Each structure stands twice: as C-alpha cells, then as structure tokens.
Structure 1
Amino acid sequence: MLISGKDLLAVAAANDFAVPAFNVSDYSMLRAIVEIAEEKQAPLIIAIHPNEIANLGWDVMPSVIQIARKASVPVAIHWDHGADYEQILQAIQGGFTSVMIDGSLLPFEENVAITKKVVDAAHAVGVSVEGELGTIGKTDTYAESGADSIVYTVPADAVSFVERTGVDSLAIAIGTRHGIYPSDLQPELKLDLLEEINRVVEVPLVLHGGSNNPDAEIGQAAHSGVNKINISSDIKIAYYDREREILQDAQLREPDAIQPPCRAALKEVAAQKIDLFGAAGKAALY
C-alpha cells in the first residue's frame, strides 16, 4: 500500500514507535526490505538518495512504485537528502510520496527559505516534506555527506523552523553520524536534548545516521519522539559481506545463486532494526 510520508509517520507518532527508512541502491535490496517488512508486518519507508538513483537509473521508479503499491504493508517512497529545489521537483515527478530537502549546512534563514519553497510545491500535489535543522556528523568521505563537527539542534530554533516552513517532519541533530564509526570515535546520543525538542516540536522527528549506534540509545530514541530512523550502512554491510563470502567460490557467476543469501543476510539485520524501533506488527494500525 503506497501512502505519503505524512500519513505513515502520523500513525507512528500516535502510537509511539519509529518507522524504518531503509536506503536501497539496487533491486535485490529493494526486494529484501519489502519482503522483511511484510514478514514482520511493519510499515516501511523505501529511501533513495540522489547517488542511489544515479546508480539505479530513473527508469526503475515504475517498478519501485509498483512493488510499494502491491505490498501488504503501508509503504512510502522517500527522496533522501535532496540538495536543491530542481532535484526535489524531479523526485516528485518521478513518483516519490515523500521528499527531504537538506538545507542543514545553510544559514538558518536560507534553510527556512528553501525548505518553505519545497513545502509549497510538494504540498500542492500531496507529497510530504522532511526538513533538517542542525548537522549530522560524518565518519569518512565514503558515507553520505555530513559536517566535520556536529551542530546540535537548538529547540527554540526547531520550533521557529517548523512554524515558518510547514514541514511534515523534522530531522534533528542529537549526536549521530552517517556511516560506520571508526574505533577512535564513539557514538553518543544526547537523549536529554531529544526529549527537550520533543516537548516543544509537534511534528514527527527524524534520526539520520542510525547505523552503528548502540541499540539501547536508538531504542530509547524510538520511544522519545523519533518516528523515522534512517538505516543505510548496516544493511549494506550485511548484504555485501555475505556476497564477498559467497564469491570465494570462483565457480559462482549466476545472480540467482549469489543474491538470495545476500538478501537473507540483509533481512536478518533489517528485522532486528524493525523490532528495535517498535515497528513490528504495527501495519495493522493503518
């Protein structure tokens, strides 16, 4: 069942859980996350980053839309970290039901302006919008973009941002980073800051950089106002680590022998995230 991000997250907010937003970069991964969402009867966000659509190609979108429509659970298709207005329009035209405009590295007033412009266009055609305030950190140059130093979201600024832009959800910075943490960098979420933001901001909150963080902290965040958690690196590592193992057999060459075990490995990690976020069985609420 294909629905908007706003409708998907409204139920999560009302019932105190987080919807997983799994990034996919090929059709095999797409199949795996939809399969596990159906098995766990969990709502799902299919997240696709501009780099990922560049790899997939725009011609894949009719298939993504079809698989979402046919799914036995509610699904939103989300444009992740949109860079500019023109890119957002292309995503809307391509069939995304939710878009993110990432103006987090801009000065506050510029972030407000571009986000409001996107909201006006997207809401006119029933597409929901996620904005971002504060900066997610980065772990290396390979992961999605982020700041060298995290700029934590200021609660009063978050209130103003939501009121002035009309966003449907807000990605906040409370200590996460994109990618996988090196051994000399330990993740630590400011859960007290999350609680403070949640008290004053009425829209669902979003946590980017959900991979490679302690389960206890992520699980608490999912019950403290965060209703969407982005997972990319964790599922991709599971998928490709399994593929590397399989390809030790030099005789293997057919995708139907190589990809199913990779999907199984991805699904095992995704299932654990679904349970951690409290999303298992919640499809019945829609």
Structure 2
Amino acid sequence: MTIATPERYAQMLDAARRGGYAYPAINVTSTQTLNAALQGFAEADSDGIIQVSVGGASYFSGRRVNDRVVGSLAFAAFAHEVASRYPHISIALHTDHCAKQYLDSWVIPLLVREAEQVAHGEEPAFQSHMWDGSTVPLDENLDIASKLLERSAAAHTVLEIEIGAVGGEEDGHRAGIDAKLYSTPADGLEVARRLGLGERGPYMAAFTFGNVHGAYKPGVVKLRPELLGEIQHEVADAVKDGLLESGSRDGNTAISDNNGHLPNTPDPADFPENKPFALVFHGGSGSSREDIAKAVSYGVVKMNIDTDTQYAFTRAIAGHMFRHYDSVLKVDGEVGEKKFYDPRSWGREGEDAMAKRVVEACVELGSAGKALK
C-alpha cells in the first residue's frame, strides 16, 4: 500500500481510534519536505498523513503561477509517484486550514474534480480536506460544513472541521489567546445534531481545548485535554439515551423518529471506548508529552505538526551554511566549493533532520511500528 484508498484511510482512522494512538499530519511545502516526511514515516514503520496549507499549496505551484489548485494537484501527483516506493506504509493526502474565503478557489474545485474521478472509477487525488470555520459563528460554520460533507461523501473523501478558534497564527490568520480557544460539550452536541455521527459521511472534528499555532514558551499555552473527554462522553451519552434530535435547516440531516432517535445513528456500542468523534489536535507545538498523551486517550487520531518540522529542516540547512561559510560563498574573490553549495548537499541534511523529527512524532503519538499490513 502506498497512497491510501478511501477504504484504507477509513481503516487507518478506525485503527487509531480503537488502538489509542494518533497519526502525525505533516505539513509540507516542497518536494524536499514531502520526501522528508515519507522518509520519516517509513523509518518509523508508521502510516501517516501529509498535508498542504493554503499557502503551501500556492508555494508548490511556483512564484509565477501562484495557483493553490495547481499546486495541490502537483503535490498529489508527485506524492503518488514517490510514495509508490514505500509499499509497506499507507499515506493519506490532506488539505489543511481552508478558511471561508478560499473555499470557492481551492477546496471546492478539488472536491468537484475528485467527485468526477470517483464517477469514472478512479481514486480521488486527496483523501481528506479541512474546512476551517474557526472565524465564523458556529451556526454558519455548521451550515457550510453540512454542504461540504455532502460534497465530500460524493468524492469519497473525509471532511475535517474545526469547532472553536485556535490561537496564534496560521497562514496569516491570527487569533487571540483567550476563552474562545475552548470548545464546550454543547458545541459537540450541536455538531452531532447537524452533521450526524458518520451516517451522512465520515468527518473528523478539531474541537479546541486551548490550542495555539506556532512556538511559545512554557506556560503561555493552557491546554485542557480533559475537555475532549467531556465532549466525547456527553455526546455518547446523548446517543445512548436517544436525546439527539435533528437541528438542521438544510434538509440534509436525518430526521429523528418519534422516540428522538436519529435513523442510522451508530449504536453507542460501536464507539470505541465511548469515542463518537474522530478528533484532531491543532496547534500542538511545544505541548507536553502528558497533554499529548491525554488528548490521544480521548480520541485524537490526527495531530498536525508544522512548526517543529519546519524548524528541523531549516536548522540543519543553517548549520551547513555556518559550518561551510567560506565554501558556500565566494568570499574575497575565491570560488567556493561546489560540493558544499550544491543544493543537493544541504538539501539532504534538511531532509534527514526533518525525517528524524517525523520519527519522533510517530513515537510520541504511538503510531510507530503500527503500519497496517
């Protein structure tokens, strides 16, 4: 297995939720960082997720083209070719943090293309896409998510939604570090009412529990991973007690029967350890191992990693330049040494360093050694 099929991706996410581990979701911006991510997953014997953000997708297409759809498809095509040389692991491709203003020019065109691929008996280019509704009210967030879930199901992809706001900065979007960073069990119940729990199509939910993008000194980020457990248990109990009722106004959510039960709602016994949601952890850079482990124990199956791998890649290259300063620069009329300024020499160092950080993430999240066979 190389790039995961929709069926394989479903198996991956289910195995993580039942097995109590999560996959690192590594953001990449180039073929070099993509190769580093693949190398790291292979060395860890871990399945995983590789993703591009809106800025990363544009960057992939080149400065003059600057087209996020073109960049996304180029990334996916390259990944399909190179990943075929790693047959013992499964990799899912994902688009990360699509805010409202980018939907019509990025994720929706990709979903339309993927639905066409599926209609022609092909596999979709990507396995999942994220709708980032963190900057709009919850009601509007779920209105949009409901429509996207329908498109996603037709494209045989998984939708990722974000409920609440992640602090810090991601691709130019800023959010403060305040009470808005914490989702509530009521938010979880509303998501289940509006989107169902898998019967309308698979999705992952990134509820916020104090998450902050970027690197911060200890003490700045106040994570409350136990909040994820509260959300999971409240929704699971509501399903068990038949208390979930359709709150949708779009006509797509299943209508409850006279007993308040949603048709085709999964039996609570099917939820692994009362985990109705497959959860996503954003803004985890600098988090303690204890907080990460707690979050995973409550059903996190995907944790985004970008800041740490960016630094690992760039730090290795900076080290190369400092060590070989007189060789990579033509100082005082000298000619330098080609073997040191050849991009392949410092590029390999960056790839190896980033791959090492990916391995560390696999070990930390528990996915190392668990590649599905």
What TM-score, normalized to structure 2? 0.71
- 2:329 is aligned with 1:232: no
Alignment match, 1:165: 195
Counterparts of 1:115 and 1:65, CA distance in 2: 28
Alignment match, 1:133: 163
* Alignment map for 1:113-152 (pairs within 5 Å): 113-138=143-168, 145-150=173-178, 151=180, 152=182
Q: Is the 8 A contact 1:18 1:227 kept in 2?
A: yes
- 2:229 is aligned with 1:195: yes
Counterparts of 1:226 and 1:161, CA distance in 2: 17
Cα RMSD (Å) = 2.0
For residue 210 of structure 2, give the secondary structure of its aligned residue in structure 1.
coil
Q: CA deviation at 1:191?
A: 2.2
Computing the radius of gyration from Cα coordinates, the structure with the larger value is: 2
Counterparts of 1:97 and 1:238, CA distance in 2: 27
| Runs of 5+ consecutive residues of structure 2 not aligned to the other structure | 62-70, 115-124, 197-201, 236-275, 328-339
Counterparts of 1:66 and 1:200, CA distance in 2: 44
- 2:55 is aligned with 1:51: yes
For residue 175 of structure 2, give the secondary structure of its aligned residue in structure 1.
coil
Moved over 4 A (4+): 141-144
Percent identity of equivalent pairs? 26
Counterparts of 2:195 and 2:281, CA distance in 1: 19
- 2:95 is aligned with 1:79: yes
Alignment match, 1:40: 44
Question: Given the superposition, is the C-alpha separation of residues 26 and 13 from structure 1 closer, same or farther in structure 2, using an over 3 Å criterion?
Answer: same
For these two proteins, the number of residue pairs brought into alignment is 282
Alignment match, 1:88: 107
Question: Given the superposition, is the C-alpha separation of residues 115 and 74 from structure 1 closer, same or farther in structure 2, using an over 3 Å criterion?
Answer: same
Alignment match, 1:175: 210
Q: Is the 8 A contact 2:76 2:93 kept in 1?
A: no
| Runs of 5+ consecutive residues of structure 1 not aligned to the other structure | none
What TM-score, normalized to structure 1? 0.91
Q: CA deviation at 1:168?
A: 1.3
CA shift digits 1:190-235 (9 cap, x unpaired): 0221211232351211110111211221122222211110000001
Question: Given the superposition, is the C-alpha separation of residues 131 and 6 from structure 1 closer, same or farther in structure 2, using an over 3 Å criterion?
Answer: farther
* Equivalent residue letter for 1:67: V
Q: CA deviation at 1:148?
A: 0.8
